[in-house]
Structures are given as C-alpha cells and as structure tokens.
Amino acid sequence: MPKTNRRDFLKLGGLALAGPLVATGPGTAKARTEKLPDYGMEKRVPVNCRMCAQKCPGLARVVDGRLVGIEANPHSVMPGVCGRSVAAAGMVYNPNRIQTPLIRVGERGEGRFRRATWPEALDMVADRLKKYREQGTPEAVAVLTRFHGAPGVDNEVFKVFGTPNFPGYADTCWANSRAVGAGVIYGPFKHGLPGCSPSKISVDFVKAKYGVLIGRNPAGGLVCYPWAMKFAKGKRNGLKLTVIDPRKPSEAGEDNVHWLPIRPASDLAFLLGLFHELMKNKSYEPEYLRKYTNAPMLVDSTTLQPAGVREIEKVEKGKKVKILDYLVYDEAAGEVRFASEAEKPALNGTYDVTFGDRAFKAVTALDRIARELENYTPEWAEGKSDVPAKEIRKIARELDRNRPHAFIDPTYRSERYFNSFKMIQVICMMNVLIGAFGREGGIIWNHSTKPGKLIHPPKAQAESIGEYYARHDPNFRFGNTHYYRHKAVETVLTEKPYPIKAMVFNGSNLLGGSAGGTEIVQALKKLEFTVCISPFFNETTLYADVILPDATFVERDEAINGKYKFEVPGVTINMKAIEPLFDVKSPYWISLELARRILTPEEYATHFKPFEEGGIELLWEKQLEGIKGVPAGEKAKITTDYLREFGVWNGQAPTPRPKAKTPTRKLELFSTFLARQYDELQAADDSNAVVANPLPVWQPAKWMTEKKELAKDEFIPVTGFAPVNSFTGQQTKDNRLLANVGEAISWDAVFINAAKGKSLGLRDGDMVTIWNPDNKLEQNARVILSELVHPDAMFSYYGAGPGAFKKLNRFYTNAPKTGFNPNHSAPFHYSPLVGGHAAHDYVVKIRRA
C-alpha cells in the first residue's frame, strides 16, 4: 500500500523551490474500480461529487489519465448523478482555476496578486497566524469551512492551534429557520436546543399521492441525485403537486403541477389559512394524534404553559434518559393524569386541573390551536398572500383526501425572511396534524452513518463566539452554535466578545453567500490577515492576502463520508482519479504543511505525524473502526477494499415510524420548548415573544413592517437554483460545458412580472440597474418580462452573475459578465431569535441602465 511520501515533505521543508512540486499528498491510494465493466481504455474511480455540496456517489471516468466525465455508480441504491457532475471536466480543465499560490499586491478588494511558491505562501500564512497563538489569543483566528477538501484533518489543524471559532455557512442555508422550526416539532434536541437539519428527514416522494411545495424546488435545487430520482419516480407514480412560489419553477414539471403565485414572504399567511381549513374539517386521525403526538396535552389557555409537567426516566437504546411527562385528561379513568399513565387521552375539552398548589381550567393543545386558527380564514390569507381563498380550500381538500400519503414539504433552504422560522414551524405542525409524519408517502426520518476519527484535538480554552452569542444575545437565543458566519462578521466589526483578527476561508465564500455585502467588505478590510484555500476565485478571494489553491475532488483522496441524505444509511468514498493539474496541491498535504509550520513539534508529532506516516489509508481505517450507524452484522464487510471496489455501501431502509425525538418523545403539535421560551420572553416584555409563540400565529416579514405597499419600481429579490448552477462556485458558472445551458435559461437575468415591467417602460432584454435605496450599491442585469412571476417579486437564479463585484470578470471567461446577487446589496441583519441571514427581506428598486 503506498504510504506518505516522506521525501516530498522533506523537500519542501528545506529550500524554497522555484518550480512546481510533484508532491500530491499523503497516502495516495489506489482505486480498484477498474474492475467494474468498462469499455476498453477507461478507468472508473469512485468519487463523491462536489460540483455542488451534496457528495453524490459517482464514478469518475478516466481515459489516459484525463477525466472525461462522471457517471452513476451502479452499486448505489439509487444510482445517478446530475448534469453538473457530468460536466466536471469543464471545471477541472478550466485554465481560469487558480494555478499557483498567490500573494496580494494591490489593496484588498482590487484582486491583484503575484504568483508565489508553496513554501513562501505557506510560511507567510504560518508566520501571520502563529502570532495570535504566541500572544495567547488563538481564538482571534476564525476558520470558515464549507467546500473543504480535507475533512478529518483540515479543521483539526486549527483545533489543535486552539481556536474554538469555526463559523459555518449554514446561517445562509438551513441552520436556523429550518433546523429550529422543524426541530421544535419533530426533534432532535442537542444540549437542550432543537435542530432538525434537512439531511435528517426527507419527503417520501415515491409513495406520496399529493403534496405542496412551498419555497422548495426538488427538481431545480435537487439537493442530491437520489432525492431528485425519488421526486421523478413519485411524479411517474402519479404524485400530484401544488407549487406555491412567487415564480413558476418550470423545473418542477409542467404537466401535473398546479402553480399558484404568492407574494414574497407571505407564505406564513397562506399556511395559516390552510391550517384553518384543515382544522375546521378535522383532517386528522384521532388515534394517530392520541398515540404519537402531544395534541391531548392540557395547557393554560392564556399563558400557553402546559398545565403540569414532570420528568420521568425511560430506557432508550440501553441508556437511561429523562423525558418530559405532561397532564392530559384520561377518558378511560375519567380524570386528569400524566400522559405516561393515561389509557385514552382526550383530544378535546376544557378540564379542571389541580397541580401543585394551583387549581385552574386547562384546555387540550388541539383545542387551543383550533381556537387560535379561527382568526385565520382563507379570505384573510388571500388578502395577505394573493393566493385565492377557493384555492386554499381546494388544497385543504386534496390534503384531506390523500392523507397520510400527503405532505407539505418542510423546505430545505430556509433563510429568507424574518418570518421564515414561523413558516416552517407551521408547516411541520400541519404535517403532524394530517398524520403524515413518519408515514409512507409523508415525511420520513433519514439514516446516516458516522465514521470515526483519527485526530482528537483538545478542547479550546476560549468559548466560541457562536456559543457566547447563543447564551448572551437575547436576539440569538436559538442561534446555531456551529453556523454563524454572520455573527463572525459582527465580531470583527465590534470586537465583542473578543476581537477576531484573522480569517481562514476554506471553500467558503462569505462575501458571495451571506447577506450584508457592505458590512462584510468593511470586516474583510479590517481583518489583519485573510487566507483563502480554494481552487477558484470568488468574491472573498478578492480580499485575500494569500490564496492557496487546493486540488479539486477528482484530484484528491478524501475521508470516508457517511452523510448520504437518504432514508437508507450509506458509506461512500472519494478517491483520486487524476493527478492534480498546474501547481495545485492535495488539501491533506496543505493541512499537514500548515500543521508543521503553525504547531509545536510535539503537537505535530502527537496529532499529525500518524497521518503523515499512515496516510489516507490510516484515516480510512480509523474511520471504519469507529463507524456508527452501521448494523453490527454489516460492519466487518465494509472495509477499505470493499469501498475501493464498489465505492459505496448501502444498508436497508427501516419502515417509516412516527417516532419523535423531542423532550416529550411525542410529535409536538404544541412545542413545549417554545412554550417555555415564550414564557420567558413575555416576562421580559420582549417584542420577539411572537416568534416563540407555540401557537400558529401571524408574524410579518421585516419589509412588511417598514412599508405598507411596494411602489411601482420596487420588488422583493427572490432567488432559486437552476439545475445547471451551484451557488457562487466557479465550478459551474465558469464551466464551458454548462455555459450554453445557462445562457439558454437566462441564468444571468432578473425576471419580473411583464405587466409591471411594461408599466415601468421596460422591454424584454433591457439592461437594468438594481439597487437597495438604503445603501445605493448598484448592480446590473438583463431583465426578462414574464407572465410567470408575481408582481412583487424580482426573481434571479442564485449565484451565476458577478453582482456588485465586477472585478471577478477578470478571472472568468465563460461566466456571465452581469447578473444580480441579492446578498451584495442586502442589509446586514438576521432573523430574530434564530439568526438566519434573511437574504431576501428587503426592497430593491430597478430602472433601465
């Protein structure tokens, strides 16, 4: 087995080398998939596609050492890769990739760099970062990772360095409204906080009969190929869909899709109208609600607190755990009892309760919710959302007719508006009411595996700023302590709770992907040092002091991956298919070189020497040794050799169950977590109490509180993904093989309602200027006048154009030269309590350029 090539390390440790190095990284492993059937010359190597973020298992096709494409891995339970993956060669052989390490020469933001050797660039990074450690403040360095190439090793370098600050990207994606909104109803909870990431559950499209997509487009933003396949299969099986979207997403399929345009950010109103109908029509199975949900929980009608709770012990998976028991009215016993002791908890009614020294009346959660919903008629919802009341009634009937094989998709990318959290809370409550959660054709739990680790860094001394804000910032109460890019920027600007002075961007585009361009630029200018590890240029690299180009996924071996985003557990591997091009290096090699330079020799010897010597093979061995989530009988089978040969292991999908991972272990139609938070916020007279209300209640988006109505030239900037693009990443937008399709769908344009556009004197194809009156930053794009966009919405495909940073055009040839990015102009704000970047909760103006 080839191990780490020690000579390469020695070479680099010595004299600075002028020319490119041949070293490619530790433990370059050999793939066996050549054994799979091929057509003569081709070799097939298992990879986890990274053309977007989802790591679908595929096979890289290599002819004479060159990548010709990626195709489905037939050993996967749902084989398939999407068109972006097929076009991977357009990323790899793009001369616009960053070819050598670069060091800034001009001002930050000018995007002027000189070429450097690896030793010079690595030494500079190490010297500049080491300083903070020597001063005793390693926490002044924040490490922002997303598309990182050396999982299992790269972040570990900085963990041993001593920083606790790894502000993840997902406050722009799912980590707030979605994770908390679904978590409060379904679970799971970790350290007392709810967090249901989108990889934890999925919609059973294959068996579903009817569904509502609202703020979700599984055919455009595929998520991962298996999900897209399930969606397509469901549609072939006759799945009927209603799509609620400010624009018609043609990717969802034209034939059996019913599209209803909605005013941006008014989804919550539509949903409340729908919930009103479902409740009025009693669209539920009493037995499901009694058995699996806390609908019978008795609550105080005005304070919204459970009438009485206690903690009881239960054994789960051999471990004692505490669960929350609550009072219900037991119809069998004819008295109020704890749920754990009740035989037939009542779903409806008001009862006399004596608990502790209080005697009072309490109502069932179901009745209390129903009472609240009386306010939100379909007519009220129509007034706010523009979705006709009769359509809302029709959707309610369809859900009722098809339940439980019906769903309202709990969304994926959720951080759009101040009220996105409430929207998702309400969606998840409705899926519980109609009995769709944990049922075939409804919402089901996914199963992933968790590989073990090779490197075990000590815990940092300082508290991370994410944890700090979650504990001390009342507005970031439910904020995610792993994903807080926004708060990292705030810390740079305010230096609270302590200064952040340097940032390491490892496959993360803060300036392109997060709302608040003006403030982010201020922060990037203020930092003492910035390094970007990325194969491609992006907005953030314009502000880098040093850029280190790492190899792309087909040019490197990678840690084993267990997140398969699927109800079927999986283990997948990514192996080097081709030699790295230009003077780029394996990200594992880069990590070791940084570790060697930044850490003490003792630390290096303890934590990284084993990897240097054992290479990726050792990492894989340790990962497989410590893997969790694989049935005992299967564990022995999944060896490195097995993965080398097949690329993927899949387990069996368990039968869907309405199992809850909440404090009560019931699907919490009435969230006990929110009730407690609501109580505290009410007591503190906090205006954000409405956000924590466990009941389905209306909360306006931020722009609605600032403006009564939009003027003729004003729009809310909404985005969506196209099947050809992937965020702001150059891997798709500057890709020759995708550019034509991108042009064909006008991925660089903004789409507005035809009548409204005409009233502004605009013609189809005009170049327009778009700006936020609050910061005046101007952007240009072509405008397309369309019947298929709500008058208040300005739609753009996210991430294809350069937005306000036209300097990027110098680094690309195939990408559009104009195109709007709402993040660049967006205010620097975040949604109350949960902390999502609320990228679309503001108003833009347009005029002909």
Ligand X SMILES: Nc1nc2c(c(=O)[nH]1)N[C@H]1C(S)=C(S)[C@@H](COP(=O)(O)OP(=O)(O)OC[C@H]3O[C@@H](n4cnc5c(=O)[nH]c(N)nc54)[C@H](O)[C@@H]3O)O[C@H]1N2
Residues that bind ligand SF4 (CB under 6 A): 49, 51-52, 54-56, 81-82, 84-85, 222, 224-225
> Which residue of 172, 177, 283, 825 would you call a contact of ligand X, by CB under 6 A?
172
The answer to whether 846 contacts Mo ion (rule: CB under 5 A) is no
Q: What mask, x for binding ligand X by CB under 6 A, covers residues 398 to 427?
A: -------------xxx--x-----------
Q: Which residues contact residue 715 at a Cβ distance below 8 angstroms, ignoring those fewer than 6 apart?
A: 752, 792, 793, 794, 843, 844, 845, 846
User: How is residue 82 written in tokens?
Assistant: 């999407």
Write out the binding residues for ligand X, residues 540-559 only, by CB under 6 A.
Answer: 550, 552-553
The answer to whether 29 contacts ligand X (rule: CB under 6 A) is no
> Which residue of 216, 384, 565, 576 would you call a contact of ligand X, by CB under 6 A?
216
Which H, E and C letters describe 446-491, residue by residue? CCCCECCCCCCCCCCCCCCHHHHHHHHCHHHCCCCCCCCHHHHHHH
User: How is residue 192 written in tokens?
Assistant: 């007392």
Pick the piece of the chain touching Mo ion (CB under 5 A) from 165-173, 314-322, 445-453, 671-679.
165-173
Which listed option, ligand SF4, Mo ion, ligand X, none, makes contact with residue 49 (CB within 5 to 8 Å by class)? ligand SF4
Q: What mask, x for binding Mo ion by CB under 5 A, covers residues 125 to 164?
A: ----------------------------------------
Q: What mask, x for binding ligand X by CB under 6 A, covers residues 257 to 296?
A: -----x-xx-x-----------------------------
Task: Report the nearest approach of ligand X to the CB of residue 178 (Å).
Answer: 9
Which listed option, ligand X, Mo ion, ligand SF4, none, makes contact with residue 245 (CB within 5 to 8 Å by class)? ligand X
The answer to whether 228 contacts ligand X (rule: CB under 6 A) is no
Q: Which is nearer to Mo ion, 435 or 835 (CB)?
A: 835
CA proximity to 44, closest of 2, 77, 81 = 81
CA angle 260, 265, 266 (to 5 degrees): 60
Q: Which is nearer to ligand SF4, 225 or 259 (CB)?
A: 225
> Which residue of 148, 501, 597, 644 would you call a contact of ligand X, by CB under 6 A?
148
Q: Rounded to an integer, what distance in angstroms lies between the CA atom of residue 210 and that of residue 436?
A: 11
> Which residue of 46, 101, 149, 435 would you call a contact of ligand X, by CB under 6 A?
149
Which listed option, ligand SF4, ligand X, Mo ion, none, makes contact with residue 214 (CB within 5 to 8 Å by class)? ligand X
Task: Report the nearest approach of ligand SF4 to the CB of residue 145 (Å).
Answer: 17
Task: Report the nearest approach of ligand X to the CB of residue 306 (Å).
Answer: 33
> Which residue of 138, 306, 729, 819 would you call a contact of ligand X, by CB under 6 A?
729
Helix, strand, coil percentages in the chain from 3-state DSSP, rounded to 5: 35, 20, 45
Grouping H, G, I as helix, E, B as strand and the rest as coil, residue 103 is: strand
Q: Which is nearer to ligand X, 181 or 306 (CB)?
A: 181
Which listed option, Mo ion, ligand X, ligand SF4, none, makes contact with residue 225 (CB within 5 to 8 Å by class)? ligand SF4
Cis upstream peptide for 164 (omega within 30°): no
Strands (DSSP E) found in 552-710: 558-561, 570-574, 648-650
Which listed option, ligand X, ligand SF4, Mo ion, none, makes contact with residue 51 (CB within 5 to 8 Å by class)? ligand SF4
The answer to whether 746 contacts ligand X (rule: CB under 6 A) is no
Cβ–Cβ under 8 Å, residues 208 and 441: yes
Q: Which is nearer to Mo ion, 111 or 168 (CB)?
A: 168
Which listed option, ligand SF4, Mo ion, ligand X, none, makes contact with residue 476 (CB within 5 to 8 Å by class)? none
Judged by CB under 5 A, the number of residues near Mo ion is 1
- The arrangement of strands across the sheet holding 558-561 comes to 558-561, 570-574, 648-650
Instruction: Report strand pairing: 319-330 vs 309-316.
Output: antiparallel
User: How is residue 507 written in tokens?
Assistant: 């496959």
Task: Report the nearest approach of ligand X to the CB of residue 110 (Å).
Answer: 18
Sign for the pseudo-dihedral over CA of 352, 355, 360, 361: negative
CA proximity to 85, closest of 45, 43, 57 = 57
List, in sequence order, every residue forming a beta bridge with 60; answer none if it has no partner. Answer: 45, 70
> Which residue of 196, 203, 214, 427 would you call a contact of ligand X, by CB under 6 A?
214
Q: Which is nearer to ligand X, 228 or 347 (CB)?
A: 228
Q: Which is nearer to Mo ion, 173 or 347 (CB)?
A: 173
Q: Rounded to an integer, what distance in angstroms lies between the CA atom of residue 366 and that of residue 372?
A: 10
Task: Report the nearest approach of Mo ion to the CB of residue 413 (Å).
Answer: 5
> How distant, in Å, are the alpha carbons of 146, 323, 560, 665 from that of 320?
36, 10, 32, 14
Phi and psi based region of residue 746 (left: phi greater than 0; alpha: psi -120 to 50; beta: remaining): left
Task: Report the nearest approach of ligand SF4 to the CB of residue 746 (Å).
Answer: 21
Q: What mask, x for binding ligand X by CB under 6 A, covers residues 799 to 818?
A: x-------------------
Single-letter residue type at 79: P
Task: Report the nearest approach of ligand X to the CB of residue 156 (Å).
Answer: 16
Which listed option, ligand X, ligand SF4, Mo ion, none, makes contact with residue 116 (CB within 5 to 8 Å by class)? none
Single-letter residue type at 186: Y
> Which residue of 535, 694, 801, 835 would you call a contact of ligand X, by CB under 6 A?
535
Instruction: Report strand pairing: 778-786 vs 750-753.
Output: parallel
Q: Which is nearer to Mo ion, 325 or 415 (CB)?
A: 415
Q: Rounded to an integer, what distance in angstroms lies between the CA atom of residue 152 and that of residue 223?
A: 23
Which listed option, ligand X, Mo ion, ligand SF4, none, makes contact with residue 85 (CB within 5 to 8 Å by class)? ligand SF4
Task: Report the nearest approach of ligand SF4 to the CB of residue 731 (Å).
Answer: 9
The residue of the chain with the least Cβ separation from ligand X equals 513
Task: Report the nearest approach of ligand SF4 to the CB of residue 58 (Å).
Answer: 6
The answer to whether 246 contacts ligand X (rule: CB under 6 A) is yes
Cis upstream peptide for 451 (omega within 30°): no
CA atoms within 13 A on the CB side of 4: 20
Which listed option, ligand X, ligand SF4, Mo ion, none, makes contact with residue 267 (CB within 5 to 8 Å by class)? ligand X
Helices (H), 637-789: 640-646, 672-683, 689-692, 702-706, 730-733, 736-744, 754-759
Q: Which is nearer to ligand SF4, 55 or 104 (CB)?
A: 55
Sign for the pseudo-dihedral over CA of 195, 198, 201, 207: positive
Cβ–Cβ under 8 Å, residues 575 and 598: no
> Which residue of 122, 160, 173, 175 would you call a contact of Mo ion, by CB under 5 A?
173
Q: Helix 485-494 vs helix 465-472: angle between axes, to the nearest 10 degrees?
A: 90
User: Measured in Å, how far apart are the chain's first and last C-alpha atoms?
Assistant: 61
Instruction: Report strand pairing: 210-214 vs 406-408.
Output: parallel
Task: Report the nearest approach of ligand X to the CB of residue 699 (Å).
Answer: 14
Q: Which residues contact residue 666 at a Cβ distance below 8 angstroms, ignoring those fewer than 6 apart?
A: 292, 293, 294, 339, 660
Task: Report the nearest approach of ligand X to the CB of residue 643 (Å).
Answer: 20
The answer to whether 224 contacts Mo ion (rule: CB under 5 A) is no
Which listed option, ligand SF4, ligand X, Mo ion, none, makes contact with residue 246 (CB within 5 to 8 Å by class)? ligand X
Task: Report the nearest approach of ligand X to the CB of residue 84 (Å).
Answer: 7
Q: Rounded to an integer, what distance in angstroms lies between the CA atom of residue 125 and that of residue 104?
A: 12
Count of residues making up the chain:
849
**Which residues lie near ligand X (CB under 6 A)?**
50, 52-53, 146-149, 169, 172-174, 214-217, 220-223, 244-247, 249, 262, 264-265, 267, 411-413, 416, 506-509, 512-513, 533-536, 538, 550, 552-553, 718-723, 725-731, 798-799, 822-823, 839
**Which residues lie near Mo ion (CB under 5 A)?**
173
